[in-house]
Amino acid sequence: MATPTRESTASTARPEATAPTPPATVTLRLWRGDEAGGEFRDYTVENLGGEVVLDVVHRIQAEQAPDLAVRWNCKAGKCGSCSAEVNGRPRLMCMTRMSTLDVSEPVTVSPLRGNPIVRDLVTDVSYNYAVARRIPPFQPGPREPDGTYRMKQVDADRVQEFRKCIECFLCQNVCHVIRDHEDNKPNFAGPRYFARLAELEMHPLDVLDRRELISSDLGIGLCNITKCCTEVCPEGIHITDNAIIPLKERVVDARYDPIAWLGRKIRRRPDPTPAKVAASFAPAAKTGEVISTDAPTRAED
């Protein structure tokens, strides 16, 4: 059998696939306006490659729209300031690479829909801080006889996941209990603060019982565990599975489990701490502040 020559081998080889040439320009469709209303506007800039959405927004701000309002700080995915909706999906602009988007069409960047608009891409997130003031902080029990605290590594690992939260509030934004029902805000903490409450309730050194507060005042019963909050978390925190569901189980044990109730009676253990007592440890209660979680609804686009 004859051996193929170099020329014949080359002629039968498949041609190498060439990567498509990226477009020379990219267009960002940015929402411009304030609480009274606004509209989307297109801005076209040179496609430099290797950029994230925030880079392009900054170039537009520097070259075409110096009055564009955008919130950002670290540009490293650790401050949560640059939260926005990119092509309808809540993301951090500093962690969303342009190469992952279809730049053959305009890339839409809009403010978080779950918050009232301040201006352009900046929204009012004060509701979240009002909720934070209503949560009783860490309350450690007495120290060991040698003056120290001790806990197992497995307990530290369990709550460490929730400490990764950067408070970008993307989970609060996608939660339909908040996003679609403004009247729920005074009675619903939201996924970010359920993760915070889970961190406190699961901490082996914390002695404050917040279960009645979580149920009656902070509305964990309104959550129907759709897991949308987990899907958008940039830190990969399993908010639904590791925080909300275990909190729901603890609330049920405290309020409805007949075996737990009988065990408390037999062993003469105290009933769950009333919500008002637990709430008295919160920063707002200690300073006598009147915290309002009411916020104006977002103007229609």
**Angle ∠(97,100,101) on CA atoms, nearest 5:** 100
Residues 103, 27: Cα–Cα separation, whole Å: 7
Q: pLDDT (tens digit, 9 = 90+) per residue, 131-153? A: 999 999 999 989 988 889 988 89
Residues 119, 130, single domain; the answer is no
Q: What does the pLDDT read at residue 256?
A: 74
Task: Supply φ then ψ for residue 235, to 5 degrees.
Answer: -95, 0
Q: What does the pLDDT read at residue 5?
A: 53
Q: What does the pLDDT read at residue 272?
A: 81
What are the b/e assignments for 162-172, b being 16+ CB within 10 Å? beebbbbbbbb
pTM, entire model: 0.84
Domain holding 280, by residue range, is 126-287
Residues 212, 158: Cα–Cα separation, whole Å: 22
Mean pLDDT, range 158-170, rounded to an integer: 94
pLDDT of 300 higher than 60: no
Q: Which of 80, 106, 123 is the last residue of a domain?
A: 123
Tell whether 101 is covered by a domain. yes
Residues 34, 298: Cα–Cα separation, whole Å: 10
- In residues, how long is the chain? 301
Q: What is the largest CA-CA distance in the chain?
A: 96
Tell whether 16 is covered by a domain. no
Mean pLDDT, range 99-118, rounded to an integer: 94
* Per-residue pLDDT band at 292 (split at 50, 70, 90): low
Residues 59, 76: Cα–Cα separation, whole Å: 18
Tell whether 294 is covered by a domain. no
